[in-house]
Structure 1
Amino acid sequence: MEQELCASSSSYCSLLVEFVTVRCRPFYLPREFTTVFIFGVYIPPSANGKEALCELYGAISELENAHPGGLFIIAGDFNHVNLKSVLQKFHQQVDFATRGVNKLDLVYTNIPGAYRAEPRPHLGYSDHISVMLIPAYRPLIRRSKPVLKQVKTWPAGSISTLQDFFECTDWNMFREAATNGDSINLEEYTTSVTNYIGKCIDDVTVSKTITTRSNQKLWMTAEVRALLKSRDSAFRAGDKTALRTARGKLS
């Protein structure tokens, strides 16, 4: 079980609101999410809704700021309180009554359409029915196709070569070519210099086609992928020294 789910929890209790927070990292999680936070909330019917939401909002927003790529699931008995009044970007998933004709037990997530809620029988002697959440979220990688992009790579020594080009360039010729009498055509001057610099860069760089995916993180560069490959190779080979080195470079 420890290989499938890594979790930690904390709790909060006041006269206005009670909630427990569980942070977990399932074995499989869409790449666009870094972690999962699950809140179990109870707000008493007699509590001041505005003050209760203020306390709950503080805890949730603090974690959102610290983990902007996290998935947040806020579930519980909210009674007369509407969480969307303070967290407008959250989406409520339950669309049926959970206690008599009242819809008290709600589930909010920061991802629209993350789950489909279905009613289930009461647990024990509770007067609230159970709510089952069925995953309905489609990962980004399944919703959009990979995109091919042209990028420039800088081989070893290319920057030095480019500097040599610029040092040997007679930059005054661009100014003279754009001068007519006593006036300088700034647009022509700028365009000619810019085009020349672009031509020099094209001469020292190599263009190649790469594939980008919608769930690809900005920090997942070629260098990071190479380090991950080295780590995996060391792990498969059972080389503890190389594995320790690779993990140190990654961190």
Structure 2
Amino acid sequence: MDRMADSGNSRGGGVCVLINNSWCNNANVITLTRSCSPNLELLALKFHPFYLPREFTSVIINNVYIPPQANMDTALWELHEALTQFQAQHRDAVLIVVGDFNSTNLKRAVPNLYQHREVACWTDQSVDALQDALDDPDWDMFWRSTDDVSEFTEAAVGFIGKLVDDKIPRTTIKRFPNLKPWVDKTIRKALNSCTAAYNVGTISGNMDK
């Protein structure tokens, strides 16, 4: 969504969502809203991917940008109105909110949503352990104990998910408002070295380094 004149911002290009064609094609994407104001830019898309657990009907992704100079109360009210409408109209959809919220506390707008902080650690060792665990089960047992391919798929996928939870360790990632996605490990190391050099310089009086 290109930034519109109504936003009052002249720099930048707005918000966008990139879609992996192996997950969902363009024919199964519906635009729910495209709104742009001085306080909030919102692009909401509804997806019908090739595979979803049967308890979900669709995935709604809301890409949000709240500029630093925005009226935070107004921005949260506009976002609350949009998300509440989506939740009421699409009760069985997965609702995802992503973007740049700056100093805004999103919990004030949608207290019933929570942030995913855990990620799976797919190391060579954990993958080998999972592969060994997948080689052991009698997979025919799932077929014999189910009546059709849908029940078989649900049982097998559920069992695989449990193996993944058991064999793949998870770690908690802390996210801060000033931690941008392009600041990788190399940049953080350089910043830490710079800070350490500065601290030494303020003590020694030699700021050359």
Indicate the TM-score class for this superposition, using the shorter chain for normalisation. Answer: 0.3 to 0.5
Question: Larger % of strand: which?
Answer: 1
Question: Larger % of helix: which?
Answer: 2
Q: Which is greater in Rg? A: 1
